[in-house]
Structure 1
Amino acid sequence: MALMITDECINCDVCEPECPNGAISAGEEIYIIDPNLCTECVGHYDEPQCQQVCPVDCIPLDPEREESREQLMEKYHVITAA
Structure 2
Amino acid sequence: MFPCLNKTVLGIECTGCGGQRAALLLFQGNFREAFFMYPAIYSLALLFIFLLVNLFIKFKHDFSIKMGLIILNAVVIAGAYIFKMIHIFN
The TM-score, its normalising length taken from structure 1, stands at 0.31
The TM-score, its normalising length taken from structure 2, stands at 0.29
Name which one, 1 or 2, has greater alpha-carbon Rg: 2
Higher helix share: 2
Higher strand share: 1
